[in-house]
Amino acid sequence: MTAHHTSQQSDGAQLRLADDSDAAAAEEAAEVGQARFEELIAADSRVEPRDWMPDPYRKTLVRQVSQHAHSEIIGMQPEGNWITRAPSLKRKAILMAKVQDEAGHGLYLYSAAETLGTSRDEMLDQLYTGRAKYSSIFNYPARTWADVGAIGWLVDGAAITNQVPLCRASYGPYGRAMVRVCKEESFHQRQGWEILYSLSHGTDAQHRMAQEAVDRFYGPALQMFGPPDSDSPNSNQSMAWNIKRFSNDELRQRFVDMIVPQADALGLTLPDPHLTWNEERGHYDFGDLDWDEFFSVLKGNGPLSRQRLEHYRNARDDGAWVREAATAYARRGQQDQSALLGA
């Protein structure tokens, strides 16, 4: 076992540290474990935190789940910036609840990753130092109110397309976290679509604002599924382990097929001249995406890559004294305060 160990494991688990002096026994346990793991995967069953699992499986999951969590946390920023400017009190409330959900989703996912033996601090540290990746889409600006709608409809729509199959991921805690996320996420896409619908059917200026936002977010949203299958080396292994159920291109196609009629219902145009129904395939054909841009943004050259990270770092730094104070207070011990104070 070479995974990081921590005394803090969700699902109440504490991994036993393999004892080096007991190498032979460990090897035997690994053989039994490997066989059991393969059985579980073949039966499409679930692997749980304290099961033996191959290191690459563990590493893949930690990477994927923590990236997913980071995306939720960084993803709070573009929309969060609009809370104070939302154009009606109802929209303000909806947006606040939505961005709050994203914080919650980040929390569910960090917890799922923690069961694999990596502490949340360690993951936050990777984000803080810029070593962790997160979805590139959040490095694009939310310039107008319509962007809030486009993010809800296209970005969350793509996220849901990606996430629903993950509810059946072979790693139990990840699947369970995704069930909760998908349940809550369902309103995100709808509120985004409604924002765009109101704009599209509002004044000329509002309609232009909506179209312009869709023009900007369409391509990056399609790229959220990751590079083409031919360029996605880890996908096959991930599918063999029942983490992923569909390839990047399959999910992208599913998403395009979904949004074409939705765009029609909105009265907005998707900015792709190659978008046509292909009777033979039973799917919409769509144009090539700008993968040079994608890989450039992925490398950290997005319009706002630096600012998003700085925002996160500032919050983390500014909060350090608060976290320390709460820890110091807890060490002192305290009375039971399950009842509300002063109420």
Partner 1 sequence: MTSIDAADSSSWPLWEVFIRSSRGLSHVHAGSLHAPDATMALRNARDLYTRRNEGTSVWVVPAAAIMASDPDSKGGFFESPQGKSYRHATYYTQSEGVKHL
Partner 2 sequence: MSFASHDSATRQSQGEAITAEEIAASDAVADEATARYALILGDDALILAQRLSAWISRAPELEEDVALANIALDLLGHARFLLSYAGTAWGKTEDDLAYFRDEEEFRSCRLVEQENGDFGQTIARQLIFSAYQLQLYRRLVHSTDPTLAAIADKALKEVRYHQDHAAQWTLRLGLGTEESAHRMQAGLDSLWSYVEELFIDVDPLTGLGDVAVLPSSLREETLSLLQEIIEQAGLTVPDISGAYGSDRSGRFSEQRGYILTEMQVLARQHPGATW
Write out the residues near partner 2 by the rule CB under 8 A: 73, 76-77, 80, 83-93, 96-97, 99-100, 103-104, 106-107, 110, 145, 164, 167, 179-180, 182-183, 195, 198-199, 202-203, 205-206, 311, 314-315, 318-329, 332, 337, 340-343
For partner 1, the closer CB: 53 or 137: 53
Quote the least distance from Cβ 325 to partner 1, whole Å. 8
Quote the least distance from Cβ 278 to partner 1, whole Å. 41
Please give the Cα distance from 100 to 194 (Å, whole number): 19
- Of partner 2, partner 1, none, which one sits near residue 43, judging by CB under 5 to 8 A according to partner kind? none
Q: Which long-range contacts (CB under 8 A, 24 or more apart) does 93-98 make?
A: 94/191, 95/148, 95/191, 98/152, 98/187, 98/188, 98/191
- Of partner 2, partner 1, none, which one sits near residue 73, judging by CB under 5 to 8 A according to partner kind? partner 2
Which backbone phi and psi does 141 adopt, to 5 degrees?
-80, 150
Do the beta carbons of residue 303 and residue 139 sit within 8 Å? yes
Quote the least distance from Cβ 91 to partner 2, whole Å. 5
Tell how far CA 255 is from the center of its chain.
16
Quote the least distance from Cβ 98 to partner 1, whole Å. 12
For partner 1, the closer CB: 33 or 267: 33
For partner 2, the closer CB: 23 or 326: 326
Tell how far CA 214 is from the center of its chain.
21
Quote the least distance from Cβ 283 to partner 2, whole Å. 22
Cα–Cα distances in angstroms (integers) from residue 180 to residues 13, 48, 120, 298, in the given order: 21, 17, 19, 28
Paired residues of 277 in beta bridges: 284
Q: Which residues contact 199 (CB under 8 A, 6 or more apart)?
A: 145, 146, 149, 206, 207, 209, 210
For partner 2, the closer CB: 81 or 234: 81
- Of partner 2, partner 1, none, which one sits near residue 13, judging by CB under 5 to 8 A according to partner kind? partner 1
Which backbone phi and psi does 75 adopt, to 5 degrees?
-65, -15
Binding stretches for partner 1 (CB under 8 A): 7-14, 32-33, 36, 48, 50-52, 97, 100-101, 104, 107-108, 111, 114, 119-122, 124-125, 128-129, 177, 180, 184, 316-317, 320, 323-324, 326-327, 329-330, 334, 336-338
